[in-house]
Amino acid sequence: MKRYPFRKPLLSVALVAGLATSTFGIPSSSFAASQVETSVLTKEDQKIVQSVNVNNIYSHISRLSSQPRVAGTPAEYNAVQYIQQKFSSYGYNVQIQPFTFEAYVPPTTLSLDIKDDNTKYTPQALTYTGNGQATGELQYVGLGTENDVKDLDLTGKIALIERGNISFAEKVLNAAKKGAEAVIIYNNEDGELNGTLGGANDAYVPALSLPKDVGEKLAKKLQDGETLNAEVAVEGSKLETRTSHNVIATKKASNQKKDTGEIVFVGAHHDSVEGAPGANDDASGVAVTLELARVMAKAKTDTELRFVTFGAEENGLIGSTKYVDSLGQNDIFRTRAMFQLDMVGSKDAGDLVMNTVSGQPNTVTDIAGDASERLNGERTPYGQGDRSDHVPFAEVGIPSALFIHEPTEPWYHTPDDTIDKISKEKLQDVAEIVGAGVYDIAKIDRVTPNVKKPKPMKNVSKEVQDVK
Ligand code: BES
Ligand code: ZN
Q: Are 84 and 94 in contact (CB under 8 A)?
A: yes
The pLDDT assigned to 451 comes to 58
Minimal CA–CA distance to 310: which of 279, 341, 333?
341
The pLDDT assigned to 118 comes to 87
pLDDT tens digits for range 52-68: 999 999 999 999 999 99
Is the minimum distance from the CB of 309 to ligand 1 under 6 angstroms?
no
- The angle formed by the CA atoms of residues 211, 212 and 215, to the nearest 5 degrees, is 85
Q: Half-sphere exposure (CA, 13 Å, Cβ side) for 177?
A: 14
The pLDDT assigned to 430 comes to 98
pTM of the model: 0.82
Best residue among 313, 387, 393, 405 to mutate for probing ligand 1's pocket (most ligand atoms within 8 Å of CB) is 387
Q: Is the pLDDT of residue 303 over 90?
A: yes
Distance from Cα 319 to the centre of ligand 2, integer Å = 12
Is the minimum distance from the CB of 292 to ligand 1 under 6 angstroms?
no
Distance, in Å, from the CA atom of 51 to the CA atom of 165, rounded to the nearest integer, reads: 48
Q: Distance from CA of residue 189 to its chain's centroid?
A: 23
Write phi, then psi, for 277 (nearest 5 degrees).
Answer: -65, -15
Q: Half-sphere exposure (CA, 13 Å, Cβ side) for 75?
A: 19
The closest-lying atom of ligand 1 relative to the alpha carbon of residue 406 is 9
Q: How confident is the model at residue 440 (pLDDT cuts 50, 70, 90)?
A: very high
The pLDDT assigned to 9 comes to 42
The closest-lying atom of ligand 1 relative to the alpha carbon of residue 466 is 22
Distance, in Å, from the CA atom of 125 to the CA atom of 132, rounded to the nearest integer, reads: 12
Peptide bond into 282 cis (omega under 30): yes
The closest-lying atom of ligand 1 relative to the alpha carbon of residue 314 is 19
Distance, in Å, from the CA atom of 380 to the CA atom of 366, rounded to the nearest integer, reads: 10
Q: Is the pLDDT of residue 396 over 90?
A: yes
The closest-lying atom of ligand 1 relative to the alpha carbon of residue 317 is 18
Identify which of 190-194, 400-404, 463-467 has the greatest average pLDDT: 400-404
pLDDT tens digits for range 78-90: 999 999 999 999 9
pLDDT tens digits for range 365-391: 999 999 999 999 999 999 999 999 999
The helix or strand, by DSSP H or E, that contains position 362, with its residue range, turns out to be: none
The helix or strand, by DSSP H or E, that contains position 402, with its residue range, turns out to be: strand 400-406
The closest-lying atom of ligand 1 relative to the alpha carbon of residue 342 is 1
Write phi, then psi, for 420 (nearest 5 degrees).
Answer: -65, -15
Distance from Cα 412 to the centre of ligand 2, integer Å = 9
Q: How confident is the model at residue 358 (pLDDT cuts 50, 70, 90)?
A: very high
Distance from Cα 463 to the centre of ligand 1, integer Å = 9
Q: Is the pLDDT of residue 11 over 50?
A: no
* 3-state secondary structure (DSSP) of residue 335: strand
**What length is written for the chain?**
468
pLDDT tens digits for range 210-256: 999 999 999 999 999 999 999 999 999 999 999 999 999 999 999 88
The pLDDT assigned to 141 comes to 97
Minimal CA–CA distance to 162: which of 148, 173, 178?
148
Q: How confident is the model at residue 452 (pLDDT cuts 50, 70, 90)?
A: low
Best residue among 102, 322, 388 to mutate for probing ligand 1's pocket (most ligand atoms within 8 Å of CB) is 388
Is the minimum distance from the CB of 390 to ligand 1 under 6 angstroms?
no
What Å distances lie between residue 247 and 87, 88, 250, 297, CA to CA? 9, 11, 10, 16
Q: Averaged over 398-410, what is the pLDDT?
A: 98
Distance from Cα 401 to the centre of ligand 1, integer Å = 14
The pLDDT assigned to 450 comes to 56
Torsion of CA 460, 461, 466, 468, to 10 degrees: -130
What Å distances lie between residue 415 and 68, 275, 281, CA to CA? 9, 6, 11
Q: Is the pLDDT of residue 460 over 80?
A: no
Distance from Cα 413 to the centre of ligand 1, integer Å = 9
Distance, in Å, from the CA atom of 308 to the CA atom of 305, rounded to the nearest integer, reads: 10
Is the minimum distance from the CB of 408 to ligand 1 under 6 angstroms?
yes
The pLDDT assigned to 39 comes to 64
In three-state form (DSSP H/G/I as H, E/B as E, the rest C), the secondary structure along 193-226 is CCCECCCCCCCCCCEEEECHHHHHHHHHHHHCCC
Higher pLDDT, 304 or 199: 304
Is the minimum distance from the CB of 162 to ligand 1 under 6 angstroms?
no
Distance, in Å, from the CA atom of 224 to the CA atom of 219, rounded to the nearest integer, reads: 9
Q: Averaged over 326-346, what is the pLDDT?
A: 98
Q: What is the DSSP letter of 282?
A: I
| Percent of the residues in the chain that have a pLDDT greater than 70, as a whole number | 87
Q: Averaged over 285-300, what is the pLDDT?
A: 98
The closest-lying atom of ligand 1 relative to the alpha carbon of residue 196 is 22
Residue whose Cα lies nearest atom 19 of ligand 1: it is 316
Q: Are 187 and 209 in contact (CB under 8 A)?
A: yes
Write phi, then psi, for 207 (nearest 5 degrees).
Answer: -130, 115
